[in-house]
Chain A
Amino acid sequence: MSLPPVQKLLRQLPVGPTGWPKPPEDGGVAEEVTSPVLATEAGQPTCYSALRADELRPLAGTKPACPQDPLVMVALEEHDDLKEMLDSNKDSLKLEAMKRIVAMIARGKNASDLFPAVVKNVACKNIEVKKLVYVYLVRYAEEQQDLALLSISTFQRGLKDPNQLIRASALRVLSSIRVPIIVPIMMLAIKEAASDMSPYVRKTAAHAIPKLYSLDSDQKDQLIEVIEKLLADKTTLVAGSVVMAFEEVCPERIDLIHKNYRKLCNLLIDVEEWGQVVIINMLTRYARTQFLSPNQNESLLEENTEKAFYGSEEEDGKDAKAEAAMLAKCKPYVMDPDHRLLLRNTKPLLQSRNAAVVMAVAQLYFHLAPKAEVGVIAKALVRLLRSHSEVQYVVLQNVATMSIKRRGMFEPYLKSFYIRSTDPTQIKILKLEVLTNLANETNISTILREFQTYIRSMDKDFVAATIQAIGRCATNIGKVRDTCLNGLVQLLSNRDELVVAESVVVIKKLLQMQPAQHSEIIKHMAKLTDNIQVPMARASILWLIGEYCEHVPKIAPDVLRKMAKSFTNEEDIVKLQVINLAAKLYLTNSKQSKLLTQYVLNLAKYDQNYDIRDRARFIRQLIVPTEKSGALNKYAKKLFLAQKPAPILESSFKDRDHFQLGSLSHLLNAKAVGYQELPDWPDEAPDPSVRNVEVPEWTKCTSREKRKEKVEKPFYSDSEGESGPTESADSVTPPPVQPIPSSSIISTSLVTDLEGLTLTDSSLTPTLLSPAFSAVKTYELLHRMAGEGLAVEYCFSRRPFPGDPHMVAVQIQISNNTDTEVKNLRVNEPKPLSGMRIQEFPEIEHLAPGDTASVVMGIDFCDSTQAANFQLCTHTRQFYVSIQPPVGELMAPVFMSENEFKKEQGKLMGMSEITEKLMLSEKCQSDHTIVQQLTSAANVGRVPCGASNEYRFAAKTVTSGSLVLITLERREGSTAQLTINSEKMVIGTMLVKDIIQALAQ
């Protein structure tokens, strides 16, 4: 709008292909006023157009053309014409007008003055007109906020429409109108849509969240609540969009992911491709915070087989350290089953047709997989090299980074990186980078042969890059250094100056490694100073001669003589090197070069560049002995001719992998706005049980969705006629507990052996518990005082007890606070009541002072809250202890659909039903806290529920397997009604009491 009016009008001129010529009349302004919808609001636009018409007159007058400048008139008419068409009754005219307006917008022309005329068509019946009005509205609402408000009521009505797609589209447009005043309305609409029946509307709600957030970031807390709710959604349609919202609004709230982690992993394959990318990237970050590095002590699992092949020296070093650390700890690494789940479920996506998905999986494997498994991504990445050149560009950048760390992975595909003369230069250079990274003793000869072809290319930038690549190969692989050097020296006689220059620079670097043997080459290069003009190359030659002037005692002074002659015409970097050369010669061979040096220094003294003047002054003081010169003079020779370390030629892609691969930041090698750092692996794994879910099995959706699923079978996760532990999302029944790792690397028996150790790994000390997981309460078994320094605590880990499904697993933590070793710690003489069984933990042979041990024992409580009594013995003492389970721990969650729940509930009426009213405490007002409180009080699984004020949970008692169904219904205020259906009445009554206590606290 900052354009001068004439220019603005001129820009608007070619509006439509056909101008509807229309006799000029004053109607244009009047029409707007008569418009019924805008009667009250029309003031502003009227002024606006009137003003414009006024402006026009003097402008037209100043122009040499007549007052009826045809161009200007047409522009006015055109818009009046459009307004008239928009006001007409015919949809076809409206449509035509809207099409012309949209064409204007598309070309970046300003059509904002039509706003009032357009906005009143927002409720038009014709769907195409309506859509185009939406396009217009979203584009200009920000500029015309007051008028945009007129349209809001239409959308609010749309939000209540019975048709889900209309609801969705209303929400979509409403949330796209960037007018801060409607923030509360948007918030309300989003909240409502988030619990809509239709997954499509919920998806739209997820899309709306970042829009609202960018409009008003103060809404963050409320939005996080909505995100939390949507994250729990079980449909593939919503998953991608809500994770996107999560990433934009609250990527730091990693705790929201815990409960949804397994569901997301299982859903992943059926999510649409764009959502997959976002989810995979987020899960990569998540996994980095929650699991242990799989490579820290991989040697134990891989038996060193892969290491020699894949590992670079550096990594081996790291391994050795890790190994030592591991031996010290004596803790073998077992991959968290959730970590394995992620790797397993993302692998098929390497086969996606979408390059972004393939890249996302590749980076996930690169950052998370054990070294031996990373190799699978190479093939898929190489496949992407057949794609569009932009895709190639990005993929090659990432391959370049990966190939530094994991060279072996791409070696079999070496030839896929060969360069064709038709590749764009930027692709050629990246391929060259990869080839150089892949070079090793075995393949270097093939690579060098290939490089020889490249050197003759017509593309000079590429040739220069090839020469540098040769230099890098030569430094990295000692065997071929001489061959490379000879090749490069031959290039010195190349006709192209750029090639020669580049070769000189590279040779200089190579010679620094072993100068003594190559004085011939230095002589040869000295001769080049006559011809070669590229400053960098001249500077390099001069430096070489200066540095090794002792090897070429005759030539060096002569070169200096020539350079002194041409000094004034040289580039700055050359001048500096001339000064250096002079200084070095003066120190080694002052007889021949004294005068020359003086001459050069005098020239430099009056140079235009202050760096050069500075340098000259500094060097003169340093090397020419005067009475004033200080102590440094003596050391001048040492200063100038010290042994200099040879440069290390390394890839510019080194260390780029601290950026998450595939990210924009990695590509730019700079942190982009909004980049989320990839965290380092934790030293101790955070509590894995936070991912245990109370949410029911995702596949069993509400009945409606289930019906649909029957009609349209889900793909990939196709369950038909298939069995066995597979990737299929259907066949994996996500238990609420940690499944035993079925990793093929270790045998099952080994797993059982390691079971105890795994638990130690996950260190369930209360202090380490993440706040999100409140379900685990610890109880005291033996106080430090009573136990004479031996403190024992226990908690219910809510995992199935391995070996016996009818037992409750009790995690026992024993810490030795005495100053002597405790030996032979074991369970003795369990005195169970009738029917109760106790599976003791394996004897702990010794527990050093200050140490803590964690063991698991299984107890079958026979569905009663009677305490289990036993003796805890050490080599000296025995203690009588008892474990009394809270009723909520006597059950395990089951997952069922809403319908099944209702069916089962129907069977458990009458005597089996207990109903109680309760007041919810202040902190138990949000859905989240209610569910959390309830699930911490009892080990139950959540059942989906259509009504938003109702919560359902289900569980089975551990011993007898009888169902316990819990329904909590919220009433007005903070009252609620709790119903429990179970044939175990005693359990029911006790559970009611416990839950009420938990919720009313």
Chain B
Amino acid sequence: MIHSLFLINCSGDIFLEKHWKSVVSQSVCDYFFEAQEKAIDVENVPPVISTPHHYLISIYRDKIFFVSVIQTEVPPLFVIEFLHRVADTFQDYFGECSETAIKDNVVIVYELLEEMLDNGFPLATESNILKELIKPPTILRSVVNSITGSSNVGDTLPTGQLSNIPWRRAGVKYTNNEAYFDVIEEIDAIIDKSGSTVFAEIQGVIDSCIKLSGMPDLSLSFMNPRLLDDVSFHPCIRFKRWESERVLSFIPPDGNFRLISYRVSSQNLVAIPVYVKHMISFKENTSSGRFDVTIGPKQNMGKTVEGVVMTVHMPKAVLNMNLTATQGSYTFDPVTKVLTWDVGKITPQKLPNLKGMVNLQSGAPKPEENPSLNIQFKIQQLAISGLKVNRLDMYGEKYKPFKGVKYITKAGKFQVRT
């Protein structure tokens, strides 16, 4: 399946290579560079490239290209999903999935890759198993290792790999037993010029941080489970219990993981928590334009909208922007033409406003399209869909865990067309 993997940074250096079968020369990446050049933009590099002898399947994550070399038919999603899993694992181990982190920990990276694939077929991809095989680096451990000469390769071999709950490691022990659930909902929306909603949808996830000893068997129930229209589960969840009782029943992995992700049925009306008033116009003869945007809160159920940031990709003809913000600060990057306005918290008494002049390149035709505004915001302690956790029960263990649920609503792909 997966023959080789090359990691390439943005300037086109191959800084890591790993082969699971016979060695494939680095020169195979030339095809990738060619495609990259053609695509101009990094995100337009086609994920699948066909070359005379190989196929290249690549992903782009955190300024790194993961380019895998394939020789025979394989479902492309299989490879893409796996590569993302690799990137996730690096993120999990080193806190970030950057070139420096990978270079600094090259031996661990290599050991991980060795365990994750055997002859190109995935072997161990569960983070709980990998962490037992290869301990993640910590400062303390590296100090201890250098003194005692011990290693960060586990010498007890993971039992999880042999059980039918491979996601949980054995012998977990905590003094404080805690289980936290973050219900995070994101609003995806397209708002048209006139302010009416073209498309809106709520995408949610429940991220969990579970630090419980032993083999706890949890069940999480909701007040209104029917809200969840389409759900995808972590493998630990018993599908049948959900089907029959709408209860999430599972033996959790240890540590952080994503329990479910869900979509709230699009039939329900989505309450959009903010509105945007905008006036953007360009004049040809004076090569200038006007820019005036106000953001206000709407139907926010008594909660404050905070962390508001607006980003706008201005047309190429824009040279500079001369704006004043009543609240927060703005930056305009004349190279990438990106305007960012960091608003912060919205108070209904005084609506934040950004307005001023736009300088256009003289002589150039005026831009045809007004840029769309991408808005980010956050509302604490609110799940916009109204989803509520009812209770969490634990079976299988005797102790009493500390339980916590946090709700948060965010803007997902929230776009206002102007």
Contacts and interface: CB of A to CB of B under 8 A. Distances in A.
Interface of A: 90-92, 95, 99, 102-103, 105-108, 126-129, 131-132, 134-135, 139, 142, 163-165, 172, 175-176, 178, 198-200, 204, 207-208, 210-211, 214, 236-237, 241, 244, 269-270, 272-274, 277, 281, 348, 351-356, 358-360, 379-380, 382-383, 386, 388-391, 393-395, 413, 415-416, 418, 420-422, 424-426, 450, 453, 456-458, 494-496, 662-665, 667-668, 670, 672-676, 708-709, 712, 714-718, 722, 726-728
A273 B192 CA distance: 41
A269 B198 CA distance: 39
17 contacts: A102-B110, A128-B151, A131-B153, A142-B22, A198-B162, A200-B162, A244-B121, A274-B122, A359-B77, A383-B230, A391-B77, A418-B190, A458-B313, A668-B48, A672-B55, A712-B215, A726-B240
A394 B164 contact: no
Given A106-B109, A422-B413, A453-B417, A394 B244 contact: no
* Closest CB pairs A-B (n = 8): A674-B72, A128-B151, A92-B149, A165-B157, A128-B153, A456-B369, A424-B43, A390-B47
Given A355-B77, A394-B77, A715 B59 contact: no
A241 B118 CA distance: 10
A723 to B, nearest CB: 11
Tier of interface size on chain B: 35 or more
A127 B153 contact: yes
B13 to A, nearest CB: 10
Nearest to B72: A674
Contacts of A450: 198
A677 to B, nearest CB: 11
A394 B241 contact: no
A358 B386 CA distance: 28
Contact of B164 (A348, A354, A714, A728): A714
B407 interface: no
A178 B22 contact: yes
Nearest to B337: A458
Among A425, A664, A672, A727, residue most surrounded by chain B Cβ atoms (within 10 Å) = A664
A131 B367 CA distance: 60
Interface in B306-334: 313, 315-316
A272 B166 contact: yes
B161 interface: yes
Interface in B117-136: 118-119, 121-123, 125
Interface stretch (B79-87, B273-281, B290-298, B340-348): B79-87
A89 to B, nearest CB: 12
A391 B77 CA distance: 6
B14 interface: yes
A927 B152 CA distance: 45
Contact of B239 (A127, A277, A351, A393): A351
Contacts of B59: 388, 390
B195 interface: no
A236 to B, nearest CB: 6
A389 B58 CA distance: 11
A413 B44 CA distance: 25
A420 B71 CA distance: 35
Contacts of B258: 353
Given A165-B157, A389-B43, A274 B15 contact: no
Given A214-B21, A356-B78, 19 more contacts: A107-B17, A108-B26, A128-B152, A135-B110, A178-B21, A207-B123, A236-B164, A244-B1, A269-B239, A272-B166, A383-B263, A424-B41, A457-B369, A458-B369, A494-B368, A495-B365, A668-B55, A674-B72, A714-B164
Contacts of B230: 379-380, 382-383
Given A353-B234, A355-B80, A663-B75, A107 B48 contact: no
B72 A353 contact: no
A717 B164 CA distance: 11
Contacts of B14: 108
Contacts of B48: 394, 664, 667-668
Contacts of B106: 102-103, 106-107
Contacts of B101: none
Contacts of A495: 365, 368
B377 to A, nearest CB: 17
A142 to B, nearest CB: 6
B165 interface: yes
A382 B258 CA distance: 19
Nearest to B84: A388
Given A425-B41, A668-B48, A718-B241, A383 B232 contact: yes
A676 B250 CA distance: 38
Nearest to A200: B162
B107 A102 contact: yes
A273 B308 CA distance: 39
Contacts of B233: 351-353
B75 A277 contact: yes
Contacts of B41: 424-425
B244 to A, nearest CB: 7
